[in-house]
Amino acid sequence: MENITEMLKGVLEGCVLEIISRGETYGYEITQQLRELGFTDVVEGTVYTITIRLEKNNLVDIEKKPSTMGPPRKFYTLNEAGQKHLEVFWEKWEFVSSKINELKRK
């Protein structure tokens, strides 16, 4: 699917939060998971700007670990604020997507 950039604004961060909530993970792996999900054009740079934002907003805990496959990885886990943020994200998503689907149907 081409050119879904604008439509991803405001939801990509929530997707990243959701992926992190499934268990400790790091930027590069998150990118791959988003691609597997279908957002094939998402690049590392985009995900890193999001994870750095999550750090700044204190929504994640961080642990740096060595890797045998390359440079050290920065592993993220959701903290309590991150969990709460994720819940709010899904509430917003439910609201917005239901309204848009309502518009589409009628």
Q: Which does 102 bind (CB under 5 to 8 A by kind): DNA, its own copies, none?
A: its own copies
Provide the binding-site residues for its own copies, judged by CB under 8 A: 1, 3-11, 15, 18-19, 37-39, 90-93, 95-97, 99-104
Q: Are 59 and 85 in contact (CB under 8 A)?
A: yes
Residues 6+ apart with CB under 8 A from 54: 13, 16, 17, 20, 60, 76, 82
Nearest to 16 by CA among 94, 100, 101, 44: 44
For residue 28, state whether it binds DNA (rule: CB under 7 A): yes
Shortest Å distance, C-beta 71 to its own copies: 28
**Rounded-to-integer distance, Cα 11 and Cα 30, Å:** 14
Binding letters toward DNA, positions 46-85, x by CB under 7 A: x-xxxxxx-------------xxxxxxxx-----------
**CB nearer to its own copies: pick between 19 and 60:** 19
Q: Are 31 and 43 in contact (CB under 8 A)?
A: yes
The residues of the shown chain that bind DNA, judged by CB under 7 A, are 4-6, 8-13, 26-29, 39, 41-46, 48-53, 67-74
